[in-house]
Chain A
């Protein structure tokens, strides 16, 4: 079962090669279907790379140029690769988001991602086609740092991915999720949880050594509680941001979050210890009978000793990541230039399915990828109207302090992710705190925690800040894949004129080729209109609202019913009073 582990146990040699700066790391990925049975319950088709699943990690060193040549051999689905957490500074077109920064790579086509990584840490990569990555096309992306401030604290690093796992293909699950038969928007519940795409993972440890566990939650939906029995973790990095080491007995990792922890092995080898990932069942609408929400691994000190079953715990009391302090002590951005308020809610639209909304708008992707709209509209690119009414587009000016106020008017937990940036978390409310009210909010920390994916609590809020120093088109979205499908997405168009200056003539031809192959327009506004950019006729829009109360149809029906009742009564009266 620990087969895949060797992939993740990266040679220390890589760490030591700090002299070899600015290397080029190339990956040739042939994406295609294969079969796998990671939870031992069912063999299912999965999206593998070069015939392999689990897919290989992408590993590079800070400063490297990374080239990923993707060939889509799926045959039946378009795809793309998004490098989650990488800022893509100057290469917004390499962010991999279909309908935002590129067109989907249709079956048979190839596409090259080429970017420089200038940020160390734990990341991951996954397809950004609608609802696709839970079919298996997601893997860790590790950027090593020759100047890692914590490098003296550990001996070895271990990549530990977490994931939920479905037995059915996303295509069918999405269809039943976004359907009239699921009016409450109940998300499909996964069938299993995985460590490193397997279960009962054995991690060999040597006594006395300290290990850096790079944990990545690559799940579609479920957040997981993670703990090591009788070992304390020291958190040193979240989402690629080094933190002051802080001790934690249990952490909570939402979908898409990462956390690196130091675990020091005991000095004796008398026993092995379990470590556990447990899916947060609060997220599940109904917990099916027989679901095992837990996945277990072991710190194996001695192969000959038994691997003890994990002990029951009384309660989940995870570390609050809001407490973390970034290692670089970056100070609070306290002068906000542009504040954006996003009110989140769920509701049904006229097709009967359940949709997710920011400010009453559910995301529907534009006909023209938003980045191409930026590049083809000249000075009009600063006008948010042209990006379409269903894209929740916000245009940011350059080098300003941006604040996102997120009010969660929904009784669910949501992990929000911003592309292109890590944000400062200014405040995050407990459950049921309602909308953000500055007067009732505690003073923000002077050096707030930064990360790129943040949990927002049920009916609570959070406030995030970042500096708009990275021109590009970036999504802000819930990283529960179901909610991406139901439209919980906003588009941040950051410094569009600077984007034009950067990329106007430097989009590689394969970008245009895949659009041409997929028949997607690349010019004009969200509707693909080139002449009058304010004309959004023909744009993709969401189904209509459900009418409140009576429509013309209802009034006609009611009036007709009343008339027939009255006529009926009249006839009864006529018959009743008729002399016999």
Chain B
């Protein structure tokens, strides 16, 4: 199964697609509110139709560009980069694994506050549109173009950004995975993300949605913990291969395939690298299972969870503290904080701030 379905890839696609679909849904809802199609008499209907088309064109164009970038990355990886990658395989896998794990960790909490994400985007969009009104008198050509196509640019940029993010994460997570494991995982991730986005748009059953989100966030963190531990494991493995040379590679999963001095457990079976031991591969991608655990991989796994636990408790505590305080100002300050980061053009650090300094989010 790990050969046909890469779980981390699924979760990344799901996560990115969900955010995109939330934005799109917010945009659609916004149009529906301001230029409701029920008012069939005036020309609003045609405007509405045009703007909706703009949105979908934006989404389409974003996806198209993403696909191109994705193809580029894959092509360059499998042509030029493959050798360089294989030479230091364990270092690449280790570093990308740890990076991906950290980023997933920082993004993950946002999934649990999807409604807040919705609010955030609603504020952001209305700001953009308000700005259009405010700046209407100025007749720059560029300005007018961007006014006219705001409904195209917004989803286009969003999709592009989320898409590139997804491509980079997948590249990081999936370095060691077989190419066959990607397509299904990507499709399912995108599908699930779109579905949840649609449910949010429809404002369906909030409770079951929340259950779904919590469960998938839980999985996301399991994956991230595994990635983190496996990243450390990979770095240690690199050091071992440097030391033991071919001997290590030759040994398969038996003695010599690992550094006995750092071993916490080693079972001569159940290796996620063995072909045909599918279950252990799932175990590996889901929970970072290794048939050969090291002090590094075990300790890093536990430290990761410790950090996550402390982080969430801190978030919860801050929310409770903030909740009893100045509630009305939420939207305002939230927007300024994330808007500020937005200007800097760093989406990831935006997400980072959501966890790290969720105070501002909620205040």
Known: A347-B255, A352-B260, A568-B308. A561 touches B302 (CB 8 A): yes
* A580→B113 contact, CB < 8 A: yes
| Cross-chain contact A183 with B265 (CB below 8 angstroms) | no
Given contacts A546-B255, A561-B301, A568-B221, contact A577 B265 (CB under 8 A): no
Interface residues on A, range: 35 or more
> Is A332 among interface residues, defined by CB-CB distance under 8 A?
no
User: A183 contacts B247, CB within 8 Å?
Assistant: yes
Chain B interface size, as a band, is 35 or more
Complex contact B301–A551 (CB within 8 A): no
Distance in angstroms from A85 CB to nearest chain B CB is: 35
Contact A572 B218 (CB under 8 A): yes
Whether the pair A564, B305 counts as a contact (CB closer than 8 A) is yes
Task: Say whether B265 contacts A549, CB under 8 Å.
Answer: yes
Residue of B nearest to A350 (CB): B260
- For residue A357, give the distance in angstroms from its CB to the closest CB of chain B: 13
Contact indicator A558/B309 (Cβ below 8 Å): no
Most buried by A among B268, B293, B305, B362: B305
Contact of A546 with B214 in the complex, beta carbons under 8 Å: no
Counting CB contacts under 8 A, is A26 at the interface? Answer: no
Asked if A186 and B221 sit within 8 Å, CB to CB, the answer is no
Q: Is the CB of A286 within 8 A of B298?
A: no
Please tell me if B248 contacts chain A, counting CB pairs below 8 Å. yes
B260: A residues at CB distance < 8 A? 180, 348, 350-352, 546
**Bitwise interface map of A from 542 to 580 toward B, beta carbon under 8 Å scored 1, else 0:** 000010111101110110110011011101111111101
Given contacts A180-B260, A184-B250, A546-B255, contact A565 B267 (CB under 8 A): no
A553 CB contact (under 8 Å) in B256, B265, B316, B323: B265
A110 proximal to B (CB < 8 A)? no
Quick one: which of A474-490 are within 8 Å of B by CB?
none
Contact status A186-B247, CB under 8 Å = yes
Question: Does B244 contact A550, Cβ atoms closer than 8 Å?
Answer: no
Residue of A nearest to B220 (CB): A572
Residue-wise, chain A 487-519 has the 8 Å CB interface mask toward B (1 for contact) of: 000000000000000000000000000000000
Asked if A354 lies at the interface with its beta carbon under 8 angstroms from chain B, I say yes
The answer to whether B222 and A569 have CB atoms under 8 Å apart is yes
Within B90-147, the residues touching A (CB, 8 Å) are 109, 112-113, 115-116
A182, A351, A568, A577: most-surrounded residue (chain B CB, <10 A): A568
- Interface pair A571/B313, CB less than 8 Å apart: yes
A558 to B265, Cβ gap below 8 A? yes
The smallest beta-carbon distance between A348 and chain B, in angstroms, is 4
In the bound complex, what is the Cα–Cα distance between A575 and B222 (angstroms)? 16
Q: Is the CB of A572 within 8 A of B112?
A: yes
> Contact at A576–B243, with CB atoms within 8 Å?
no
A-contact 0/1 string along B195-224, CB 8 Å cutoff: 000000000000000100110011001100
Residues of A within 8 A of B213 (CB): 576
* Contact for B218 among A546, A555, A573, CB less than 8 A: A573
A354 touches B256 (CB 8 A): yes
Tell me which residues from 306 to 354 in chain A have a Cβ below 8 Å from any Cβ of chain B: 347-348, 350-352, 354
B38 near A: Cβ within 8 Å?
no
Complex Cα spacing A554 to B294, Å: 10
What is the CB-to-nearest-CB distance from A542 to chain B, in angstroms, rounded to a whole number? 14
| A352–B261 CB distance below 8 A | yes
Chain A neighbourhood of B218, CB < 8 A = 569, 572-573
B87 sits at the interface (CB 8 A):
no
Residues of A within 8 A of B259 (CB): 180, 352
- Contact at A564–B306, with CB atoms within 8 Å? yes
Which A residues are in CB contact (< 8 Å) with B268? Answer: 548-549
Q: Distance in Å from the Cβ of B305 to the closest Cβ of chain A? A: 4
Flag whether A181 is at the interface (Cβ < 8 A): yes
B contact patch SS: helix
**In A197-255, which residues have CB < 8 Å from any B CB?**
none
Chain A CB within 8 A of B39 CB: no
- Binary flags per residue of A109-151, CB closer than 8 Å to B gives 1, else 0: 0000000000000000000000000000000000000000000
Complex alpha-carbon distance, A209 and B217, angstroms: 91
Query: How distant is the Cα of A558 from the Cα of B246 in the complex, in angstroms?
Result: 30
Q: Would B287 and A565 count as touching, CB distance under 8 A?
A: yes
* Known contacts A550-B267, A558-B265, A580-B319, A575 near B312 by CB under 8 Å: yes
- B315 interfacial contact with A, CB 8 Å: yes
The 8 Å CB contact of B225, one of A351, A555, A565, A573, is: A565
B245 contacts across to A, CB distance below 8 A: 181
Q: Are A557 and B115 in contact (CB under 8 A)?
A: no
Once A575-B112, A577-B210 are accepted as A-B contacts, the answer to whether A549 and B222 lie under 8 Å apart by CB is: no
- In the complex, what residue of chain B is closest to A556 when comparing beta carbons? B264
User: How far, in whole Å, are A564 and B305 apart by their CA atoms in the complex?
Assistant: 6
Q: What is the CA–CA distance of A351 and B259 in the complex, to the nearest angstrom?
A: 10
Q: Across the interface, which residues of B come within 8 angstroms of A564, CB to CB? A: 301-302, 305-306, 309
Task: Give bound CA distance, A147 to B293, whole Å.
Answer: 68
C-alpha gap A348/B317 in the complex (Å):
52
Known contacts: A554-B293, A557-B298, A580-B113. The answer to whether A572 contacts B251 by CB under 8 A is: no
State in angstroms the CA–CA spacing of A568 and B251 once bound together: 36
The chain B residue with its CB closest to the CB of A560 is B302
The contact of B293 among A347, A546, A557, by CB within 8 Å, is A557
Chain B 273-290 interface mask (CB, 8 Å, partner A; 1/0): 000000000000001000
CB distance from A352 to the nearest CB of B (A): 4
Given contacts A348-B256, A553-B265, A564-B305, contact A572 B217 (CB under 8 A): yes
**A 442-483 binary contact with B (CB < 8 Å = 1; else 0):** 000000000000000000000000000000000000000000
Residues of chain A with a CB closer than 8 A to B312's CB: 571-572, 574-575
Chosen A-B contacts, 23 in total, with CB atoms closer than 8 Å, are A184-B251, A186-B246, A348-B255, A348-B260, A351-B260, A352-B260, A546-B260, A549-B268, A550-B265, A554-B264, A560-B302, A564-B305, A565-B222, A565-B225, A565-B305, A571-B313, A572-B214, A572-B308, A575-B312, A576-B217, A577-B210, A578-B319, A580-B323
CB-based closest 4 A-B pairs: A183-B256, A554-B265, A348-B255, A576-B214
Known: A285-B246, A546-B260, A580-B116. 12 other contacts (CB 8 A): A180-B261, A182-B244, A184-B247, A352-B255, A548-B267, A549-B266, A561-B302, A568-B221, A568-B225, A576-B217, A578-B316, A580-B115
